[in-house]
């Protein structure tokens, strides 16, 4: 099999089919002429490879789906208008009234909100288990559990769960394992190869990488995606052609970008860990991180996210963020530019103070998405602001 960079650049590319264009064309068309000379058209059938309507499928979208499927090692990928669109549509494809989900408690705030507040309204129970132990998590599975839901590394605590062991235990009990791989990307972690059934992404983040698109993906077997595809069409959650082009373009440099994010984050984490104004620094690449050994075994790098607690709590953290010059305060992550946010007033507002405390998210925590800038400039910015 070809390497990641080669597949990132070339796979899914439709260029050879269209006038020799090196880049995949943007098929900015809601509808496509029926092939009137194909008798199946008149029987209401859609011949394989034929496009009818872009809420169902579109060639530019298909190109980026094939690129991601190749990188994740999945049979099929489906592209969505957002990460939340991918997560909600996939969950609703696997679950119905009376079923339940066993989920880690450490989740992106939007996902937590969806599971905690929306699923119960549809008669789907959610059992949050505050652990990253596969055995403890899977002990919560009962006869009605259809899905085990994971994130690794988690947001913002950057905890890891042993994906292979969780999948082994969950599959023994007949459950599907869905995992959000947004933080790691397929460059650093490929959950399907560890046994996961479906990988989910907010492509808004590293996959696109330039903070100019909202997008998402689900990747898995053809059989599982055959459940998700009709729901994506009915819920109207497919990615548009222009974002699909942009995400595909972003993904061509995914390997390069992720390696630089990773190297910069390691240097920033080491710098922060020894900084006098920092009480705690969380990064899976640090030897002090509780999941460092698992990260080395399960991932091909440690990622671009670093979380740290500022001495002096919330006020001191707010003061520091206001002084950043290179780093911007913004809620997202995974773009080329460094961004800082405080979980207490951004990603984790759906959690109560007690819930945040249980997860270890202090009021003075800053989550850094370390960009690809020169790392000396980032450390200088942090140092000046903290002091």
Ligand X SMILES: Cc1ncc(COP(=O)(O)O)c(C=O)c1O
Q: Which stretches of the chain bind ligand X, using CB under 6 A?
A: 82-84, 108, 110-111, 155, 180, 182-183, 202, 204, 214, 216
Please state, in angstroms and as integers, the Cα–Cα distance from residue 50 to each residue in 32, 34, 46, 96, 153, following that order. 9, 8, 6, 31, 39
* CA dihedral sign of residues 68, 72, 76, 79: negative
Closest distance of CB 307 from ligand X, Å: 13
For ligand X, the closer of residues 180 and 273 by Cβ is 180
* CA dihedral sign of residues 247, 15, 70, 4: negative
Chain center to CA of 56: 23
Per the annotation, the verdict on 205 as an active-site residue is yes
Residues 6 or more apart whose Cβ sits within 8 Å of residue 227: 93, 94
Closest distance of CB 89 from ligand X, Å: 11
Per the annotation, the verdict on 180 as an active-site residue is yes
For ligand X, the closer of residues 5 and 332 by Cβ is 332
C-beta nearest to ligand X: residue: 83
Check 106, 162, 180, 363 and give the catalytic one: 180
Check 7, 62, 106, 108 and give the catalytic one: 108
CB count within 10 Å of CB 134 equals 20
CB count within 10 Å of CB 41 equals 15
For ligand X, the closer of residues 137 and 215 by Cβ is 215
For ligand X, the closer of residues 347 and 386 by Cβ is 347
Closest distance of CB 213 from ligand X, Å: 9
Check 67, 146, 205, 232 and give the catalytic one: 205
Closest distance of CB 48 from ligand X, Å: 30
Closest distance of CB 84 from ligand X, Å: 4
For ligand X, the closer of residues 183 and 324 by Cβ is 183
Closest distance of CB 216 from ligand X, Å: 5
**HSE on the CB side for 104, CA within 13 Å?**
29
For ligand X, the closer of residues 275 and 367 by Cβ is 367
What amino acid positions are annotated as catalytic residues?
55, 108, 180, 205
């Amino acid at each position: 099999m070809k390497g990641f960079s080669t597949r990132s650049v070339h796979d899914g590319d439709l260029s050879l089919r269209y006038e020799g264009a090196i880049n995949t064309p943007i098929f900015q068309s809601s509808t496509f002429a029926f092939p009137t000379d194909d008798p199946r058209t008149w029987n209401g059938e859609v011949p394989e490879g034929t496009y009818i309507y872009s809420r169902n499928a579109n060639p530019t979208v298909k190109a980026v789906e094939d690129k991601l499927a190749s990188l994740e090692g999945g049979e099929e990928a489906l592209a969505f208008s957002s990460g939340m669109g991918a997560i909600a549509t996939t969950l609703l494809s696997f679950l119905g009234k009376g079923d339940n989900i066993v989920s880690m408690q450490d989740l992106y705030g939007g996902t937590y909100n969806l599971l905690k507040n929306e699923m119960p309204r549809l008669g789907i129970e959610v059992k949050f288990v505050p652990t990253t132990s596969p055995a403890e998590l899977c002990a919560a599975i009962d006869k009605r559990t259809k899905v085990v839901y994971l994130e690794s590394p988690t947001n913002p605590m950057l905890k890891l769960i042993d994906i292979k062991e969780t999948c082994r235990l969950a599959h023994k009990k007949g459950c599907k394992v869905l995992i959000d791989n947004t933080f790691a990307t397929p460059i650093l972690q490929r959950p399907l190869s560890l046994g996961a059934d479906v990988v989910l992404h907010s492509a808004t983040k590293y996959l696109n990488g330039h903070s100019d698109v909202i997008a998402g993906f689900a990747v898995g077997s053809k059989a599982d995606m055959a459940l998700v595809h009709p729901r994506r069409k009915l819920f109207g959650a497919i990615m548009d052609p222009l974002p699909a082009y942009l995400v595909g373009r972003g993904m061509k440099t995914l390997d390069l970008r992720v390696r630089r994010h990773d190297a910069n984050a390691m240097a920033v984490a080491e710098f922060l860990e020894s900084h006098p104004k920092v009480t705690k620094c969380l990064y899976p690449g640090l030897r002090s991180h509780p999941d460092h050994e698992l990260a080395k075994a399960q991932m091909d790098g440690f990622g671009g996210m670093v979380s740290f607690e500022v001495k002096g709590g919330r006020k001191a953290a707010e003061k520091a963020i206001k002084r950043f010059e290179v780093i911007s305060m913004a809620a997202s992550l995974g773009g080329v530019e460094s961004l800082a946010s405080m979980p207490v007033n951004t990603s984790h507002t759906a959690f109560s103070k007690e819930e945040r405390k249980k997860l270890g998210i202090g009021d003075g925590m800053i989550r850094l998405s370390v960009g690809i800038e020169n790392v000396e400039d980032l450390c200088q910015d942090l140092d000046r602001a903290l002091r």
